Chain A
């Protein structure tokens, strides 16, 4: 297994980034969904703390992931797909990255506006990005929510593309991002 990306496959670093991002999202989405509807309680405060802490770590991870993308360019999309499809895929990938950056930052901004600092895993306090403001808090709350939904749609499209390749085209394109190939390519 190579560290760097090759012409046809992602290297182990990029593969780890991809699946760890998924793992983070699988934790962040349910917490975010549950915590906002809860009546105020110690459990609610705890969930908020987890959501913010994990969200911040994800932001760091995404920054590292993008840096790695610059260091080691990803394998180009296979020519076997029509140009339009490749364009759509690239657009979705790009938008996913935008969401992965904007979503945690909007959450951070929202915390600052609300007057509740982000204290990552109760250990280190993030600086406030903006001043406390009720109006901004409400606006940012909406933005955070909407981007969350947008990203969920993009992820659905991403998964749909996987299903299309896997079960309709049967080109095993998933192998590019799996650490161990089920059908080692020649």
Chain B
């Protein structure tokens, strides 16, 4: 092999490395990651028993949100809810939903929603975005759609930072698919199968070091 050839090989290797680095930099666009402001955020749920709307909420949850409206392909959402943090208007009711028949928090302390399939539906819709995801609850995984809007946090007076967004959305899940409400509680003529979950997250764009 001549020196010329060696040089040629070197060039190819070099260009590969360079090109490789370039492509790497191209695909790894700066992802917009968002941090949850827990104290400003809410997850509430409403079920119906005998036609009576009955609500509750969770106070302890965490998220990993990578979201860029212009790059939905790389967007990703993970919400993990500590079911023990459930609250309802009645203490008795709170205790009941924690039992084996409902959330069974001893065995399944968390509910998790995960999606990397987020689509834009258009701003004429009630909800501009939809996240097709999987919810894990009570040891069962099931597909679910989370409908949401990204709003400016202007309606929240106490917050005025510019890099904040308000994620407002809802999902409707059928409790029977996850075995929430066992035995007599399985009777959906008393306690409705559908439970509406309302989400209000205030998120702040993470400052990634350049």
Which residues of A come within 8 Å of B, CB atoms?
Answer: 40-43, 45-46, 48-49, 114-119, 122-123, 125, 132
Known: A41-B184, A114-B89. Contact between A46 and B50, CB under 8 A?
Answer: yes
Q: Which B residues are CB-close (under 8 A) to A115?
A: 55, 89-90
Q: Chain B at the A interface: mostly helix, strand, loop or mixed?
A: mixed
Known: A45-B50, A119-B52. Contact between A40 and B190, CB under 8 A?
Answer: no
Residue from B54, B92, B191 within 8 A of A42 (CB atoms): B191
Interchain CB contact under 8 A, B50 and A40: no
B187 on the A face (CB < 8 A): yes
Closest residue on chain A to residue B51 by CB atoms: A122
A138 to chain B, nearest CB (A): 12
Interchain CB contact under 8 A, B187 and A42: yes
Q: Could you tell me the distance between the alpha carbons of A48 and B49 in the complex, rounded to whole angstroms? A: 11
For the side of the interface on B, what is the size category?
10 to 19
Q: Which A residues are CB-close (under 8 A) to B96?
A: 40
Q: Which B residues are CB-close (under 8 A) to A125?
A: 51
Q: Could you tell me the distance between the alpha carbons of A49 and B192 in the complex, rounded to whole angstroms? A: 14
Interchain CB contact under 8 A, A40 and B93: yes
B86 to chain A, nearest CB (A): 15
What would be 7 A-B contacts, judged by CB atoms less than 8 Å apart?
A: A40-B96, A42-B187, A46-B190, A48-B50, A49-B51, A115-B90, A116-B52
Q: Which A residues are CB-close (under 8 A) to B54?
A: 116
Q: Could you tell me the distance between the alpha carbons of A22 and B190 in the complex, rounded to whole angstroms? A: 28
Interchain CB contact under 8 A, A42 and B51: no
A119 to chain B, nearest CB (A): 4
A-B contacts besides A116-B54, A132-B89, 17 pairs, CB < 8 Å: A40-B92, A41-B184, A42-B184, A42-B190, A43-B184, A45-B50, A45-B191, A46-B190, A48-B50, A49-B50, A49-B51, A115-B89, A116-B89, A117-B52, A119-B51, A119-B52, A122-B50
Q: Could you tell me the distance between the alpha carbons of A123 and B93 in the complex, rounded to whole angstroms? A: 23
Q: Could you tell me the distance between the alpha carbons of A41 and B96 in the complex, rounded to whole angstroms? A: 9
